[in-house]
Copies of this chain bind each other. A is one copy, B any other.
């Protein structure tokens, strides 16, 4: 079995999360490590997308992964098989990560020798959007079966994200999902949002997404 460490992270002691997040980013900048915060609803495809992303970039970059989950090790087990350094963060029932909690993970993972770290946040469109984790960029996945009205109903997460991956486009024929409408609704919240339609299962669209990600990480050096 592939090994990974499980960390029970503690509630944050920092009163000012934004300041702590800036401190985390300054440390990452110094190390030349790019941190991506990946958010979505439960089941939108964070882990499958992450596995595709690792597959596309692991020969070009040194990658680490932090899997945040309330309780389980399901995702860390999947990622450990992909041959990158990974740890499991248990939030102990908490519905999000803040900068202090993220930093506990970064310390355990060890980041000085990594180019890219991906934090897979807890599956939730509400609470994770409210806390700056210290990531350089925020990404979210919206999957086709969830519907194109989500930017109207969960506005904050679309506002704080830099990039939106629209996943499961292979099932577009079976759902009432309008790609143009979701683009319009999402850009109403965030005009500068980058949008990539993908299918993590088949690999469609992964090349454009990972090229963007690699450019971002290189610009951070």
A170 to B93, CA, bound (A): 33
Q: What B residues does A70 contact at CB under 8 A? A: 126, 153-156
Across the interface, name the chain B residue whose C-beta is closest to A152.
B72
* A171 CB, nearest partner CB in chain B, Å: 5
Interface size on A, residues (CB 8 A): 36
Binary B-proximity of A121-159 (CB < 8 A = 1, otherwise 0): 011111100100000000000011111011011111000
**Minimal Cβ-Cβ distance residue in B for A78:** B149
Interface pair A125/B42, CB less than 8 Å apart: yes
CB within 8 A of A42: which of B69, B146, B155?
B146
| In the complex, per-residue mask of A36-73: 1 if CB is within 8 Å of any chain B CB, else 0 | 00000111100000000000000000000000011110
Question: Can you list 18 contacts pairing A with B, beta carbon distance less than 8 Å?
Answer: A41-B146, A42-B125, A42-B153, A43-B143, A44-B146, A70-B154, A72-B152, A72-B153, A74-B153, A93-B130, A95-B124, A123-B126, A124-B124, A126-B127, A143-B145, A144-B145, A145-B146, A145-B168
